[in-house]
Amino acid sequence: MHVPHLFWLPRALPCPYVITVHDVLEHMARAREHSGMRRSLHFHLTRRVLMGAARIFAVSQFTKSQLEKLFGIPSPRIEVVYNAIDERFMHGHATPADHELIAQRYQVTYPFLLYAGRISPHKNLVRIIEAFSALRTELEKDGKFPDLKLIIIGDELSKHPDLRRTVIKSGVQNEVRFLGFVPIEVLRIFYDAAKVFVFPSLYEGFGLPPLEAMVHGTPVVTSNTSSLPEVVGNAAVLVNPENVFEIMRALHRVLLDQALREKMKRRSYDQSARFSWESSARRILQAYEELASRPVPYSEPPVEVSHDIASS
């Protein structure tokens, strides 16, 4: 049996199981919310599920290291099998007619920066908006990109009063647009049309959106933390996601340095080509075949894990 996400399972199952772990963010959050006995119970139940698996697939080296560090899982039990992007993002470049289509349908103007993804605290949208506001001030001094906008795809602004307050406080009410969710076919055009894709997330088990932008050759500014350096390689500009000024300076540099943009575009194509579902499926199939021919007996060794998951 292949369990696609990390969650608790019955102790007795009729067959061996493998499990894919995308990240441990939810488990870290729950551990912070609980204390004492509840925290200990949560940790041991989660670890029991992990140790009971015949094989664990982690979607990045970073996620693998988190499993080793936080839960004491032995490295040989974990295999890294990367995620990949939806094939619908790979249908070639958008056309000028496509760009005009989204301009009319969504009432957006060019040029724009783009963020696409979930809207939650660890995605760092507050700092994106603050960095964008500072960027507009800097560009005004340069006399460049006076009409630059920020497009945010993922949810409606009305659902996030904290972001609304940030937009108003930063004075960019007329320059920031929240478009909610859009179909993949439309998102593909937005990726293609964006001047820069900005994704300074605080935590990612893998981080698909930067890869989705890179397959279109769009320059990416993203975080130097968690799995993101592993995913983007040398094709993106990495920043400290907690430093608004650093995010702003990176965006400013990428916007104004045409030679850098061209280099990032070439590297983006090469880096995004390293990830494919065909390759990942092949590795999982090989693991299935290996486990079917040579079952791995389960024996949970005693282990002392001194690291406090709630402090991570």
- The Cα 273–Cα 279 span in angstroms is 11
Looking only at the bridges linking them, the beta strands covering 78-80 and 55-58 are: parallel
Instruction: Tell me how far CA of residue 45 lies from CA of 99, 166, 237, 250, in angstroms.
Output: 50, 39, 39, 43
Domain count, the chain: 2
Q: Which domain holds residue 132?
A: 87-272
| Co-location of 101 and 208 in the same domain | yes
What is the torsion angle, in degrees rounded to the nearest 10, for the CA atoms of residue 156, residue 134, residue 215 and residue 95? 80
Q: Is 107 left (phi over 0), alpha (psi -120 to 50) or beta?
A: left
For the beta carbon of residue 287, count every other beta carbon within 10 angstroms: 17
Give the chain's radius of gyration (CA, Å).
Answer: 22
| Co-location of 133 and 195 in the same domain | yes
| Co-location of 155 and 17 in the same domain | no
- The Cα 28–Cα 271 span in angstroms is 30
| Co-location of 11 and 136 in the same domain | no
| Co-location of 61 and 119 in the same domain | no
| Co-location of 116 and 235 in the same domain | yes
**CA count, 13 A, side-chain hemisphere, 208:** 15
- The Cα 140–Cα 134 span in angstroms is 10
- The Cα 123–Cα 204 span in angstroms is 9
| Co-location of 221 and 267 in the same domain | yes
| Co-location of 98 and 43 in the same domain | no
What's the pLDDT at 109?
A: 95
3-class state of residue 99 by DSSP: helix
| Co-location of 144 and 22 in the same domain | no
Q: Tens-digit pLDDT profile for the chain (312 aa)? A: 887 777 666 666 667 888 999 998 877 766 666 666 777 777 888 888 899 888 999 999 999 999 999 999 999 999 999 999 988 888 778 899 999 999 999 999 999 999 999 999 999 999 999 999 999 999 999 999 999 999 999 988 778 999 999 999 999 999 999 999 999 999 999 999 999 999 999 999 999 999 999 999 999 999 999 999 999 999 999 999 999 999 999 999 999 999 999 999 999 999 999 999 999 999 999 988 988 886 545 545 555 554 454 444
| Co-location of 142 and 205 in the same domain | yes
| Co-location of 139 and 248 in the same domain | yes
| Co-location of 119 and 159 in the same domain | yes
Task: Answer for the pair 31, 45: CB distance below 8 angstroms, yes or no.
Answer: no
